[in-house]
Amino acid sequence: MFIARGGYTTQSSDRSPSIGYQSKVRVVDRYKVIGFISSGTYGRVYKAVGRNGQAGEFAIKKFKPDKEGEQIQYTGISQSAVREMALCSELSHVNVIRLVEIILEGKCIFMVFEYAEHDLLQIIHHHTQPTRHPIPPATVKSIMFQLLNGCQYLHSNWVLHRDLKPANIMVTSSGEVKIGDLGLARLFNKPLHSLFSGDKVVVTIWYRAPELLLGSRHYTPAIDMWAVGCIFAELLSLRPIFKGEEAKMDSKKTVPFQRNQMQKIVEIMGLPTKEKWPNLVSMPEYLQLSTLSANQHAKTGGSSLEKWYYSTINSHSPTSAPSSNASLGAEGYKLLSALLEYDPEKRLTAQTALQHPFFSTGDKVSGNCFEGMKMEYPHRRVSQDDNDIRTSSLPGTKRSGLPDDTRPTKRMKE
Amino acid sequence: MAANYWESTQRKHWQFTRQQLDELRKNLEDEDQNLVQMYPLPQVRHLSIYFNQQIGRLGKRLGVRQQAMATAQVYIRRFYSKVEIRRTNPYLVIATAVYLACKMEECPHHIRLVVSEGRALWPDFFSSDTSKLGECEFFLISEMSSQMIVHQPYRTLSALQATLSLTQEEAALSWSIINDHYMTDLPLLFAPHIIAIMAILLALVLRPTATGIQSASSSASTIASAAQGALSSAGQLKAGGAESKVGGERSEVQRLSNWLAESNIDIEAIVDCTQEIISFYEFQEQYNEKLTREQINRFVKARGLDK
């Protein structure tokens, strides 16, 4: 893979040769920006095409440098950017978004990725318009298989994604699923510090695993697998299965117990029990569990996930089309419940999930999740009002209608 | 990839033959002939010893763990395989490599702290302007093509400690031999597991009861021949030869050669690697810190690279 070229140049001035870093490659010489995709706390993402005959389209993620006054200064690259750059440079898998190159230019970092026309958030959203209609079962199956395949690759390489959610799962126009946004990803094989220290809160709350909600400091691949389970549920029901409200950090910067989120999980999954999850009692927030209001059913440790599952796959399309997701059947439930297993040690790993009968029963799983589909999903919205990747949009300059904290490709739902 | 050395950028882009490495360095010097003539420098090994010492000093002030310092040294070696040293301020490059390696090895330090410690260590050669270090970070990452994940021999050592029933002392000595190899070109020449096995072999041959690695240089040839003995016995076993007899040596060495014989590990590479580190220990005696420091400081000052 070709990555950034750069070098120091000595501007020849006799008295003091001032040394300055200058990129050997200029972004605008290599790419033509054709639109603005999204912005976030990290910076902005642009859509681009190559100027040097590079095939395909690209998404260029421009990291915002920290601003000190009016003049942009080198302030040191954030640790998360360093991680993302290093990890993306190593990773190579069909179900993980491909890094094309990194250009370090003008105090900014430009990460050039292959472009993906869709993402799961957008696809799920499309199925709620104008009325709810289910994502075809073959598509769900293919998406899940590819997603798990990407996770298996990451986990076998000791990479935790830590922020899996529909908005971060890209889908190309040829139906290939690509795990994207490794901005929070970390290696878990040799943490010099506990993986917990440093970044206190990880994973969008709706996809956050129960052990994290209960204060666990041990990050394991099981955390990603819970999120995969939540995504599976969302592909079926078209809304987040555990849509809690985030408790904000208080002024002392202590991490609050996410009561509402845990409550949402308990409402469907029942209360976790130490019989089924032996380590439960050693969770820092264990005592909080007794304060949750469980319904009669949940109090006894009963889960209503099965009920949730069957009513979901049978409920769609009140009008003409038959409720197609019913074909996902009992194996779909088994996979879902094994992913949404409370005990992280018993939760399905990506490796075992790929062997699940869900994928071997019924139609063969396609590597193209759109196979056999007649319709085409709407393309990613690309705005034209910011095409200047270099100067016009000085970082920190807010622009109308685009709050600066939106994550890439995230749009308002419902 | 991250866990798999064979798929890593380290193996694909940062493992060279000696010839390739010599060529890279020669090309750099050829491009800047005037500079090279104007500012003579000691051999790469001696520069590396100097860098190792300076990293150690900075690391100590910052409380940096050995693994991050090891990664920093690999960064520096990669960087100077692509950039002529006389075009840079080595003190800035050292501090930047430590700063970056700490982020990669999950023990980050604030840029201001790194700069203030650098300034305290090298007041005449180090700017208090943090943006200089930030800029150098761009340079470093760019020359490394953002390939910042380094596979270290330490992990192989930990994994083999049980397999080969190494004692604490043997493991500790192996560990310190691994620390030493960062002063050589070995990290750019061999896979981390080869280096780890070389270190274990040497540690077993040297015996931790001896006065340590410093005694190695005096008896380099003895060690070399003992190591060779173990390796050739492994080679014979592998070739299906007679039961090996590594005469008079400890059973650990025997166990290692048996283990090697059963593995697919490249014994030739270990021989090569062993010779390199032994010759390093010999050369270490000729190292002249004062001369090395003066020669580095001279071009930094004369060229205004500290500004």
Same domain, A261 and A349: yes
For B:40-79, CB contacts with A below 8 A are 65, 67-68
Same domain, A177 and A53: no
B35 touches chain A (CB under 8 A): no
Which residue from A3, A23, A90 is facing B149, i.e. has the nearest CB?
A: A90
Identify which has the larger pLDDT, B117 or A314.
B117
Same domain, A215 and A89: no
Q: Is residue A305 part of a domain?
A: yes
Query: What are the CA-CA distances from residue B53 to residues B46, B189, B284 (Å)?
Result: 11, 22, 13
Residues B79-114 have pLDDT tens digits of 999 999 999 999 999 999 999 999 999 899 999 999
A115 alpha carbon, distance to own chain's centre: 16
Window from A48-57, A183-192, A263-272, B75-84 with minimum mean pLDDT: A183-192
Q: Is residue A410 part of a domain?
A: no
Q: Is residue A16 part of a domain?
A: no
- In this structure, what CATH number is given to the domain that contains residue A348? 1.10.510.10
Please state, as a whole number, how many other Cβ atoms lie within 10 Å of the Cβ of residue B63. Answer: 8
Window from A49-63, A361-375, B203-217 with minimum mean pLDDT: B203-217
Cross-strand pairs, A38: A45
Q: Using omega within 30 degrees of 0 as the cis cutoff, is the peptide bond preceding B192 cis?
A: no
Domains of chain B, by residue range, sit at 5-150, 153-284
A163 an active-site residue? yes
Across A5-19, A70-84, A110-124, the highest mean pLDDT is recorded for A110-124
pLDDT value of position A190: 53
Q: Is residue A404 part of a domain?
A: no
- CATH assignment, B5-150: 1.10.472.10
C-beta atoms of B2 and A159 within 8 A? yes
Same domain, A326 and A264: yes
Residues B235-281 have pLDDT tens digits of 676 666 544 444 444 567 778 888 888 888 888 899 899 999 999 99
- In this structure, what CATH number is given to the domain that contains residue A53? 3.30.200.20
Window from A67-76, A239-248, A321-330, A398-407 with minimum mean pLDDT: A398-407
Same domain, A69 and A129: no
Same domain, A101 and A209: no
Same domain, A106 and A125: no
- Average pLDDT of the segment spanning A48-71: 83
Q: Is residue A12 part of a domain?
A: no
Same domain, A152 and A203: yes
Same domain, A58 and A141: no
pLDDT at A185 over 90: no
Same domain, A345 and A386: no
Same domain, A246 and A326: yes
Which residue from B7, B107, B149 is facing A86, i.e. has the nearest CB?
A: B149
pLDDT value of position A321: 52
DSSP letters, A47-69, are EEEESSS--SEEEEEEEPPPB-S
Residues A223-258 have pLDDT tens digits of 999 999 999 999 999 999 999 998 887 666 677 899
**Which chain B residue has the Cα nearest residue A105?**
B138
Same domain, A194 and A329: yes
User: Residue A78 belongs to what domain range?
Assistant: 26-116+381-396
Q: Is residue A370 part of a domain?
A: no
Number of compact structural domains in chain A: 2
Residues A25-43 have pLDDT tens digits of 999 999 999 999 988 777 8
Q: Is residue A216 part of a domain?
A: yes
End-to-end CA distance of chain B: 39
